[in-house]
Structure 1
Amino acid sequence: MNILIKILLLTLVSSSVYGQGSLMWKFATNNRNYSSAIIDKNTLYIGSGDSCLYALNKVNGRLKWKYQTAGEIKSKPLLYKGTVIFNSTDGFIYAVDIENQQLKWKFKTKGEKRQDIWDYFLSSPVYAEGKIFIGSGDGNLYSIDPENGKLLWKFKSNGSIHATPLIYNEKVFIGSFDGFFYALNSNNGTLIWKFKTVGDAYFPKGEIQKGATIYKNSVIFGSRDYNIYSLDIETGRGMWNMKEKGSWIIASPLIVDDIAYFGTSDSHRFCGLSADNGYEKFSFPLNMRVYGEAILFEDDIYFGCFNGKLYKIDRSEEKLVEIFQTTASKENYNTVYNEKEVFKDGFELYGEDFKDAEEKILNLGSIISTPIIEDETIYFSDANGYIYAYNLKLNK
């Protein structure tokens, strides 16, 4: 089917509401939330902009405990042998015992920094090959001993590393705000190869803000130069790229059945490309950005949007379905959008008052985090300070 015709058809069905699930609980933090959650048994762990890491009962949302740092927690935590490990904007990486909430160790970086108001994330810790890997705003990628927090090695780039490392076949793949994508030896941090993004007239560095995905013999990631790239995993040479004119590609792609799924920034759509050659398979129109990753559940795809809505792609019927809207989005939607679901007269996203416009967007309860699904329940946070648990099938 012609892509443009498919877009029009998808627009017609995208307004249908799933409406078969039920909100199980929501938990209020004290600041904006961009962090994604992890789950261990009956406990959900998630960070908040209020500087706390929260441990919540996943069934009812009740607080089990929280641990406070001196900075915002804007990444996904990691569980390792009874310890939760996470990153904070105070420049420390923490390891906290989940039983007694005592600090096991903390690792000091050379400090965090935020590039601009659209730099919403920190690098998330990843465990592989007996080591922890994590990036920092100081430009370093660190390899740390998970038992004691001691430095094993570090690699210096020329820009903030807020992407999450990808480890595969004794290699670490990571992008930086310096516009380079690196492949490093995971044992000692030596450089294997690096790839420079093309850049754009407005964003010549081609900053890489988030993580990458492995597909066969390639690694795929997006950039602020409006491109999504596929590189040969052994040589770093380009295999293909697709330019999304006028829009960053922040979200790391989800690969399902040889298709790369990802949302875009300012072109406001959700795409599916052939992971083999980058040709577009379909496009779902939206009215705001997508920064978080999509996830797969029972052959359907779920993702959140800056408009405060959670969406499902029904892959069997090739349609986009709205399944949930945050509380703040329901309350504040008309401050940004008109009855036709487009920007209302007078609202300008990147005008002189772009900071005020961004606040209005965040006040919709933007879903910037990547959701997680367990036991038919989807968990996610929003920019209005809430953490949600929504059962995808339960009627009440």
Structure 2
Amino acid sequence: MLLHDPRHTGFTSSPVPETPGERWSYTTGDLILAQPSAAQGMVFVPSLDNHVYALDWESGELIWSFEMDDVAASTPAVAGDSLIACSYSGKVYSLSLSDGSLNWEVDLGDMIAYSSPCVVDDVVFVGTGDGVIYALDRYTGATIWSFSTGDAILDSPAVGYGKVFVASNDGYLYALDEDSGSFLWRFEVSDGKYYVLSSPVVDDNKVFIGSAAYKKIYALAQSTGALIWEFAVDDYVWSSPTVADGVVYATSHDGKIYALDEDTGEQLWVSEVEGTPPSVISAGGVILAVTNEGRLYALNRSDGSLLWDMSFEGGTMAPPVVADKRIYVCFNDTIYALVSVSTLTLTLSESSTTVGGSIT
């Protein structure tokens, strides 16, 4: 699911290649705006061509595809033997993981723009354009509860500590009871003039969220919503922070990546990349960042120094995915699988696969 887990930490223990090379690529029929998901030997790719694609994560071979009623602009979530995917028009689909056949679909009545489904304990949480967050039964799609905020929900709910955290374009981050949907607290993150696209992140009894309106990253007490610290940056914060081993990583529109102490908000380091990065991923001691200028960067997690970078055609606002020592990145309408050059060399000695991509 989005940013690896229900808390949106963006952290995985899977290592990344020290020297990556392209293993395969797959081109869909339109742009890929949302992060893919990877699980059980497959990569699930949402596309603006109205399809969700299931690809073999080793070979890139198409296993199945499913056509929805509208574009797929959010990250699908793997839930047991099912894939939960949403269309822009407001439909939620449950698909068989093995063959893409439809288990059920439900129409929530308003757009699901960029709100990716979050699945916890057989409950699907998703927000809609009319400002309602729904809790749906994973097996049937039936509504368990719903809660109405004051405006569109464009971010993705995060779940942790028995609570659901979701931000709304009415300018507030909400905390709701996970079981009942009852209101617990809210915190202002916008003046209502700017979209709230940053999804909340939950870790260490705190909730982290970025603010485009106020150009800040906030750390709040998950139990009460009380402000623990805030960190001001020089430009808009559209993307979600990520958290790993006591450090919060946040990006801003001007191409900066900040590492902040999780407890105090103190800046540990800042790096700058070419273009605007979405949320970063922490994997195996490396920070991975992509940008709308067609770049993939690997930074040393301890000091932000550049380890390597790669260039691709087109841009992206979809964070990378790391699984089984592979990196999956999307630029324009294409997903690329990157593996260690040593692994790639061994594979190529037995095949005629052509390798592309540019690494520096």
Give TM class, smaller chain.
0.7 to 0.9
Please say if 1:173 is aligned against 2:160. no
Whole-angstrom distance in 1 between the partners of 2:85 and 2:187: 28
Aligned match of 2:3: none
Unaligned 5+ segments in structure 1 are 1-17, 115-121, 329-364
Letter in 2 for 1:216: D
Structure 1 residue 197, shift from structure 2 partner: 2.2
Please say if 1:275 is aligned against 2:262. yes
Percentage of pairs with the same residue: 24
Structure 1 residue 139, shift from structure 2 partner: 1.0
Q: Matched residue of 2:208: which SS?
A: strand
Q: CA 1:296–1:190 in 2, change beyond 3 Å: closer, same or farther?
A: same
Please say if 1:296 is aligned against 2:296. no
Q: CA 1:81–1:272 in 2, change beyond 3 Å: closer, same or farther?
A: closer
TM-score, scaled relative to structure 2: 0.86
Residue 274 of structure 2: which of 267, 283, 287 is its match? 287
Structure 1 residue 113, shift from structure 2 partner: 6.9
Query: Which of these two proteins has the greater Rg computed from alpha carbons?
Result: 1
On the 8 A contact 2:241/2:248 being kept in 1, the answer is: yes
Aligned match of 2:209: 221
Q: Matched residue of 1:74: which SS?
A: coil
On the 8 A contact 1:22/1:390 being kept in 2, the answer is: yes
The C-alpha deviation readout for 1:233-272, integer Å capped at 9, x for no partner, is: 1111211112223x2212222222322112211x221111
On the 8 A contact 1:254/1:261 being kept in 2, the answer is: yes
Please say if 1:81 is aligned against 2:109. no
Whole-angstrom distance in 2 between the partners of 1:217 and 1:29: 40
Whole-angstrom distance in 2 between the partners of 1:19 and 1:194: 43
Whole-angstrom distance in 1 between the partners of 2:58 and 2:121: 33
Letter in 2 for 1:123: S
Whole-angstrom distance in 2 between the partners of 1:162 and 1:393: 38
Whole-angstrom distance in 1 between the partners of 2:199 and 2:74: 12
Structure 1 residue 28, shift from structure 2 partner: 0.6
Aligned match of 1:345: none
Whole-angstrom distance in 2 between the partners of 1:100 and 1:30: 20
Letter in 2 for 1:238: L
On the 8 A contact 2:91/2:112 being kept in 1, the answer is: no
Q: Matched residue of 2:260: which SS?
A: strand
Residues 4-19 of structure 1 aligned to structure 2 (within 5 Å) = none
Unaligned 5+ segments in structure 2 are 1-16, 346-360
Residue 378 of structure 1: which of 319, 327, 343 is its match? 327
TM-score, scaled relative to structure 1: 0.78
Aligned match of 1:367: 316
Aligned match of 2:12: none
Q: CA 1:283–1:188 in 2, change beyond 3 Å: closer, same or farther?
A: same
Whole-angstrom distance in 2 between the partners of 1:208 and 1:280: 24
Q: Matched residue of 2:328: which SS?
A: strand
The C-alpha deviation readout for 1:121-152, integer Å capped at 9, x for no partner, is: x1111111331111112211000000111111
Residues 167-246 of structure 1 aligned to structure 2 (within 5 Å) = 167-197=159-189, 199=191, 204-205=192-193, 207-225=195-213, 226-245=215-234
Whole-angstrom distance in 2 between the partners of 1:113 and 1:164: 10
On the 8 A contact 2:198/2:237 being kept in 1, the answer is: no
Aligned match of 1:13: none
On the 8 A contact 1:131/1:146 being kept in 2, the answer is: yes
Whole-angstrom distance in 1 between the partners of 2:309 and 2:18: 6
Whole-angstrom distance in 1 between the partners of 2:30 and 2:266: 40
Letter in 2 for 1:263: T
Aligned match of 1:22: 21
Letter in 2 for 1:196: E
The C-alpha deviation readout for 1:348-378, integer Å capped at 9, x for no partner, is: xxxxxxxxxxxxxxxxx21311211122210
Residue 132 of structure 1: which of 124, 127, 131 is its match? 124
Letter in 2 for 1:228: I
The C-alpha deviation readout for 1:272-300, integer Å capped at 9, x for no partner, is: 11222222221111231112x22222211
Residue 152 of structure 1: which of 139, 144, 168 is its match? 144
On the 8 A contact 1:197/1:205 being kept in 2, the answer is: no
On the 8 A contact 2:32/2:48 being kept in 1, the answer is: yes
On the 8 A contact 2:172/2:190 being kept in 1, the answer is: no
Residues 325-340 of structure 1 aligned to structure 2 (within 5 Å) = 325-326=311-312, 328=313
On the 8 A contact 1:301/1:314 being kept in 2, the answer is: yes
Q: More relative contact order in 1 or in 2 (CA 8 Å, sep 6+)?
A: 2
The C-alpha deviation readout for 1:330-350, integer Å capped at 9, x for no partner, is: xxxxxxxxxxxxxxxxxxxxx
Structure 1 residue 206, shift from structure 2 partner: 5.1
On the 8 A contact 1:309/1:322 being kept in 2, the answer is: no
Aligned residues: 327
Bigger Cα displacement from structure 2, 33-42 vs 21-30? 33-42
On the 8 A contact 2:32/2:330 being kept in 1, the answer is: yes
Letter in 1 for 2:182: T
Letter in 1 for 2:220: L
Structure with greater helix percent: 1
Whole-angstrom distance in 2 between the partners of 1:288 and 1:163: 22
Aligned match of 1:261: 249
